[in-house]
Amino acid sequence: MADISQDLALPTALAEVAHVGFEWEWDEETEEAGGCDFEPFDRFQEPDRAAWWFRLWTGNQEVDGSEFRFFGKTGAGDYVGFWLVRPDAAIIDQPVVYIGSEGEHGVVAGDLGDLLWLFAAGLGPAESFWAPDSPEQPNETFRAIAERHAPGRRRVPVQIVTAARTEFPQFPDLIDAMCR
């Protein structure tokens, strides 16, 4: 496997998503959110910055978060990235994890292709973590990106999230063990 720890360029599909961006708004009258609360970075977070954040989040100075490549966050400070758990797999074939600012954490997609289909359904990583069975709000721009980069892989969001969590049931325990 190539040394992906030094390459900060986003994979093509993720760079396309970042270029499009996400819209999110809060309706004060109804107290409901609309859109996806996700802010993709224009490149992977630098390892030193990721280590600083991960140590702060876990309260553990002995960890460095090097098993993650963070590529975005929410307005609340939740981080999203690839978990480098599949030996010899390309970064786009690694699972996507959500690490919330209040301690919540989980796998939301089996790989980048699955994440693209979540975006196409109108869900961001936080929405996929909290409510993968929520009604879809299709996004045609993201659907086109998903069709180009993960053709024939469309599934409903709850299937994508459930499959990822089933494949990686150890993720919550791994993270819990790192926390102090």
For residue 24, pLDDT beyond 90: no
> pLDDT per residue over 36-95, tens digit each?
889 999 999 999 999 999 999 999 999 999 999 999 999 889 999 999 999 999 999 999
Rounded Cα distance between 35 and 122, Å, is 7
Rounded Cα distance between 94 and 112, Å, is 7
- What pTM does this model have? 0.91
For residue 35, pLDDT beyond 80: no
Computed over its alpha carbons, how large is the radius of gyration of the chain? 16
Rounded Cα distance between 115 and 105, Å, is 16
105 three-state secondary structure: strand
CA dihedral over 67, 53, 164, 166, signed as positive or negative: positive
Could you tell me which of 168, 75, 172, 74 has the C-alpha nearest to residue 125?
Answer: 74
Q: How confident is the model at residue 2 (pLDDT cuts 50, 70, 90)?
A: very low
Contact indicator for 22, 137 with CB cutoff of 8 Å: no
Rounded Cα distance between 13 and 28, Å, is 34
Contact indicator for 64, 86 with CB cutoff of 8 Å: no
